[in-house]
């Protein structure tokens, strides 16, 4: 059985992506299942979600020699001119909670009708056997809450209210989130592509 490596050190993202890939005829492995040193990281120097996803998939795929899938995603907030965007994971030093608290502080005077935002995900798969890369996209529209709500998820999930389900990502069950979220939509498209891989 061919191995499919998920190129992430983010445990929340790893769990979500494993959920989408479990029905495929691959042995899905994590970075911990490789000989790559634990401290090794790909520098995310891309200016777009697509750029970073491609960088992570190609560099990790070449280093591991495995079929490799990588995601780059983030939240873009209209009132903050699209920030944090591609810098979502690096928007402020510290924990996920510290990062979303920076957002809430910056938006404390923004009225409800102007708190619109969207989550975007780009998934890239790199195949070192053919040196080919494939990309899919997904997004979810919503708005930024005034305070965190919910205990699930990771990152900005507690402050992102998803319009389609009427609750924050952090209030949603994993099944609800996977059905409508940005990564889920990109992964559903990638799943159909990976089903056809040799």
pLDDT digits (tens, 9 = 90+) for 19-44: 889 889 999 999 999 999 988 999 88
Length of the chain: 198
Domains and CATH numbers, the chain: 3-194 (3.90.950.10)
CB atoms < 10 A from the CB of 100, how many? 25
pLDDT in tens, 46-85: 899 999 999 999 999 999 999 999 999 999 999 999 999 9
Query: Rounded to 5 degrees, what angle do the CA atoms 44, 67, 34 make?
Result: 75
Identify the active-site residue in 32, 33, 35, 72: 72
What crossing angle do the helices spanning 11-21 and 182-194 adopt, rounded to 10°? 40
Categorize the per-residue pLDDT at 7 as very low, low, confident or very high, splitting at 50, 70 and 90. very high
Separation between Cα atoms, residue 32 and residue 181, nearest integer Å: 26
Separation between Cα atoms, residue 6 and residue 121, nearest integer Å: 15
Q: Is there a catalytic annotation at residue 32?
A: no
């Amino acid at each position: 059985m061919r191995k499919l490596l998920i190129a992430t050190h983010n445990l929340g993202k790893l769990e979500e992506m494993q959920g989408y890939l479990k029905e495929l005829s691959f042995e899905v492995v994590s970075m911990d299942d490789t000989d790559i040193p634990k401290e090794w990281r790909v520098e995310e120097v891309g200016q777009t979600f697509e750029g970073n996803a491609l960088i992570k998939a190609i560099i990790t795929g070449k280093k591991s020699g495995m079929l490799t899938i990588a995601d780059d995603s983030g939240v873009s907030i209209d009132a903050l001119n699209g920030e944090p965007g591609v810098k979502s994971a690096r928007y402020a030093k510290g924990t996920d909670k510290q990062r979303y608290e920076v957002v809430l502080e910056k938006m404390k005077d923004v009225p409800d009708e102007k708190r619109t935002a969207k989550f975007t995900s780009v998934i890239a798969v790199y195949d070192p056997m053919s040196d080919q890369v494939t990309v899919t996209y997904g997004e979810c529209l919503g708005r930024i809450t005034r305070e965190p709500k919910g205990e699930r998820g990771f990152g900005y999930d507690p402050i992102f209210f998803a319009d389609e389900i009427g609750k924050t990502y952090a209030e949603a069950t994993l099944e609800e989130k996977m059905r409508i979220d940005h990564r889920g939509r990109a992964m559903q498209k990638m799943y159909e592509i990976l089903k056809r891989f040799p």
